[in-house]
Amino acid sequence: MQVAILLFERLTALDAVGPYEAISRVPGVEVVFAGERTGPVRDDVGSLSLTADATLTDVPRPDVIVVPGGPGQIAHMADGPVWRWLRAADAHTTWTTSVCTGSLILAAAGLLTGRRATTHWLAMDQLAPLGAVPVEERVVTDGKYMTAAGVSAGIDMALGLVDRIAGATVAQAVQLGIEYDPSPPYAAGSPRVAPSEVVAVVQAHKRFILTGFR
Amino acid sequence: MQVAILLFERLTALDAVGPYEAISRVPGVEVVFAGERTGPVRDDVGSLSLTADATLTDVPRPDVIVVPGGPGQIAHMADGPVWRWLRAADAHTTWTTSVCTGSLILAAAGLLTGRRATTHWLAMDQLAPLGAVPVEERVVTDGKYMTAAGVSAGIDMALGLVDRIAGATVAQAVQLGIEYDPSPPYAAGSPRVAPSEVVAVVQAHKRFILTGFR
């Protein structure tokens, strides 16, 4: 089973690496990081490059697609190589998935029309205008389309995907392997539970999630 | 404030990227990925390269060190460039930290002697012979040394580190920014809670966490 993770400039690194760490440990799965060009791709903060080993044309028929988000998503909201690849590949996938604002790319490409989907909480209002049905859940599955909320939600999505692909024992083994027994220091990971003043800080610094405070 | 994240061949990518995603979003923090050489560094699964932008000699005095784990850790358990850098840099850090089996490198270099520390649950028995005091907690802090359990625990550690460095509001804002409101599909993320048959699977395939099932 081939899993293609899309890379593009100014993506959020954890959107891609979180799912990768879970999916890549499933027996028989081959993960390929693919971009418009091969070579290093710079993330949104600017301090890390991930390498695209393949071009999009190298992986025309992946079984699973993972589209990360991040501010670079904005460059892929119109017709172009990424849209053309997504549309052609999606016709043959078992699962088409996204993390964070990656769902906006899928929606803009027409793949989530009428489908329930999620995205980063700060971008939730952008789903409906793109034809998707926004759902405020951490992971949303509609048919073969699985979308995750912001950044770290890709880990939860990927474990759910492993469960669907390889069954409960493998999913739990992967979870135990990456010791995913989370213990966040605060109840602050979603706008529903975070203190209102913290929500206000992040809303006031909306670009903070996109590019860091700098 | 400069944060240096060590890269080495066959590291576990999430060990480095999890903390990066939290720490890099703190105002005034500059993160540098550093390795023995600049350029791409291949991870343990073999499908992803992260780029070292700096050599170790380029970052002699970081304020914070983050040492990831992964099977490549084994190559840095004896005197060499990584040990020499760690020992010299540690003399000036505010925080010296590790994720997963990264703590074994710190311990082998003599930096955790007599100190409480943790690591991946499968490697816990290796800490005491290296002079550290093993503690089965997700994040262990002893003085300026902060160590995390396996792979995904680096996210929890980093949020705790952000709390210490920048205060509770920034830590919560970062947590909300990366939407870290985890919802694992199973109670299987530690050997204490995972079904015994799942623990047995992972123990029988110990190398699975190290290199994937392939």
pLDDT in tens, B126-144: 999 999 999 999 999 999 9
Q: Are B180 and A48 inside 8 Å of each other by CB?
A: no
Min Cα separation B81/chain A (Å): 22
Angle between helices A13-23 and A153-166 (to 10 degrees): 30
Alpha helices in B43-167 (DSSP H): 81-90, 102-108, 153-166
B151 interfacial to chain A (CB closer than 8 Å): yes
Query: What's the rounded Cα separation, in Å, for the pair B96 and A193?
Result: 31
Q: How far apart are CA B206 and CA B124, in angstroms?
A: 13
CATH for the stretch A2-183 = 3.40.50.880
How do residues B71-123 score in pLDDT, each as one tens digit?
999 999 999 999 999 999 999 999 999 999 999 999 999 999 999 999 999 99
Question: What ipTM was predicted for this assembly?
Answer: 0.96
Per-residue pLDDT of B182-211, as tens digits, reads 999 999 999 999 999 999 989 887 765 554
Instruction: Give domain limits for chain A.
Output: 2-183
Q: Tell me which residue in B20, B151, B181 faces A190 most closely, judged by beta carbons.
A: B181
User: CA-CA distances (angstroms) from residue B66 to A44, A112, B100?
Assistant: 20, 39, 11
Could you tell me which chain A residue has the CA closest to the CA of B2? Answer: A47
**Which of B4, B82, B100, B209 is the catalytic position?**
B100
Chain B environment of A21 (Cβ under 8 Å): 12-14, 151-152
Q: Is A134 helix (H, G, I), strand (E, B) or coil?
A: strand
Chain B CB within 8 Å of residue A176 CB: yes
Is B6 part of the contact surface with chain A (CB cutoff 8 Å)? no
Q: Tell me, yes or no, if B196 comes closer than 8 A to chain A by beta carbon.
A: no
Q: Rounded to whole angstroms, what are the CA distances from B128 to A103, B54, B103, B196?
A: 46, 33, 11, 25
B97/A130 Cα distance (integer angstroms):
43
Contact yes or no for B177 and A30 at CB 8 A: no
Q: Which residue, among A39, A26, A31, has the nearest Cα to A4 in the 3D structure? A: A31
CB neighbour list of residue A33: distance below 8 Å, 6 or more residues apart: A4, A5, A7, A16, A20, A50, A51, A52, A53, A54, B47, B48
pLDDT in tens, chain A (214 residues): 999 999 999 999 999 999 999 999 999 999 999 999 999 999 999 999 999 999 999 999 999 999 999 999 999 999 999 999 999 999 999 999 999 999 999 999 999 999 999 999 999 999 999 999 999 999 999 999 999 999 999 999 999 999 999 999 999 999 999 999 999 999 999 999 999 999 998 988 776 555 443 3
Query: From the CA of B143, how many Å to the nearest CA of chain A?
Result: 19
Cβ–Cβ below 8 Å for A14 and B21: yes
Q: Is the pLDDT of residue B178 over 50?
A: yes
**Residue contacts between A and B (CB atoms, under 8 Å):** 256
What is the side-by-side order of every strand in the sheet holding B64-67?
A: B54-55, B30-35, B2-6, B64-67, B95-99, B145-148, B139-142
| Cβ–Cβ contact B156 with A under 8 A | yes
Distance, CA of A125 to CA of A127 (rounded, Å): 6
Answer yes or no: B123 catalytic: no
Q: What is the pLDDT of residue A162?
A: 97
pTM for this model (two decimals) = 0.96
